[in-house]
Amino acid sequence: MKLSTKIRYGTRALVYIAAFGKNRYVSISEISEKENISLKYLENIMTLLKSSGLLRSMQGAGGGYYLAKSIDELTLADIMYSISGPIFLVRCLSEYECNREMECVLKDVWNDVNNVLDKKLRSIKLKNIVKKRKRKIKSFA
Amino acid sequence: MKLSTKIRYGTRALVYIAAFGKNRYVSISEISEKENISLKYLENIMTLLKSSGLLRSMQGAGGGYYLAKSIDELTLADIMYSISGPIFLVRCLSEYECNREMECVLKDVWNDVNNVLDKKLRSIKLKNIVKKRKRKIKSFA
DNA sequence: TAATATCCTACTAAACTAATAGGAATTATA
DNA sequence: TATAATTCCTATTAGTTTAGTAGGATATTA
Ligand code: FES
Ligand code: FES
């Protein structure tokens, strides 16, 4: 149970855009440089975030990415699920073709854990993170 | 974020022992058969559970495994951590040698998620699962 | 037309997961 | 004291996933 680099890098990229991308496009190369993430790898990640509708983009010189939704709306759940697909701790929670359901108590248990995790992830908005970030930076100044 | 087969099989094995192993030893072959888990693979898993102190064992004919603690004490957290090590969603939460801490807001965020998950896992006791199991079986009778 | 971007397709090394395999050591019991 | 049943110990292996790399096509601005 470790978060993948895709999720960690992707989250950092989104936080970066949320913090510095007001009314402008943010390029991958800028994020790559400031956040120390491999440019080409970040490209892959941005594609995922774009194709699930969290980001939009503008091609060509001066182009880049921008948030498709408000920072008050975007949550950690959105980010994680966009990158790695929805979280189902066990297969039986996503595939409804399961022949052990009758005997199996654990399904309910895992479902319970799954829900708690999901609820927590949905409660953390990009806005909260950006705010925290500002406070932190202020406290160092 | 899928649970490994080790965790799923290991949990089932423990639930089995908790349900059917009152005052007796339960052999791997019995669990393997009843729970449809590869004998040799289950052996590996039982070793993990034993060496982290959740199970004890008796060698030789008639031997097998038994719980080292009460079912009221053993939690899902115990089981999962015994099998796969403690959960730290990101490295920075376990290795205190981290040079980005100052700039990094996300550490607190991941820590928060980590704690919620841990708390939930610690709240689910083996006893609860066994009880559920009994109720379920009764409802089919 | 040159520079700066995203977009698209593909490949690859390393790590991890899920098993499998064979046999040694221990214990109960016939 | 054999024999069967069991845990214990050490390895190996096929498959999958992760993390990253590579090269070029396409679009936009200046
Ligand atoms: S194995 Fe499918 S519900 Fe448990
Ligand atoms: S990278 Fe270490 S605290 Fe965030």
pLDDT of B65 reads 98
Which has more confidence, A96 or B84? Answer: B84
Give the pairing type, strands B64-67 and B55-58: antiparallel
Residue B74, judged by CB atoms within 10 A of its CB (0-12, 13-18, 19+), counts as buried
Distance CA B116, CA A63 (A): 39
- Average pLDDT in the A110-114 region? 96
Strand D at less than 7 A from CB of A44:
yes
Per-residue pLDDT for A62 more than 90?
yes
Per-residue pLDDT for A87 more than 80?
yes
The Cβ of residue A59 has, within 10 Å, a number of other Cβ atoms equal to: 8
Per-residue pLDDT for A103 more than 80?
no
Q: Where are the domains of chain B?
A: 5-140
- Average pLDDT in the B59-84 region? 97
The Å distance, Cα A130 to ligand 2 centre, comes to 16
Cα A103 to Cα A11, A77, B45, distances in angstroms: 39, 31, 22
B5-140 has CATH 1.10.357.10 classification: no
Percentage of chain A surpassing pLDDT 70? 98
Which has more confidence, B30 or A98? Answer: B30
pLDDT of A96 reads 64
Predicted model pTM:
0.94
Per-residue pLDDT for A100 more than 80?
no
pLDDT of B94 reads 87
**Separation in Å, CA of A118 to nearest CA in chain B:** 10
In this complex, how many residue pairs, one in chain A and one in chain B, have their CB atoms less than 8 Å apart? 77
Give per-residue pLDDT as tens, B10-56: 999 999 999 999 999 999 999 999 999 999 999 999 999 999 999 99
pLDDT of B53 reads 97
Q: Which ligand is nearest to the CA of A109?
A: 1
Per-residue pLDDT for A102 more than 90?
no
Output the distance from B27 CA to D2 C1' rounded to whole Å. Answer: 23
> Angle, nearest 10°, between helix axes B76-84 and B39-51?
110
Q: Which atom of ligand 1 is nearest to the CA of A98?
A: 2
pLDDT of B96 reads 64
pLDDT of A94 reads 87
Give per-residue pLDDT as tens, A19-46: 999 999 999 999 999 999 999 999 999 9
Cross-chain residue pair A91–B133, CB shorter than 8 Å: no
Residue of chain B minimizing CA distance to A80: B1
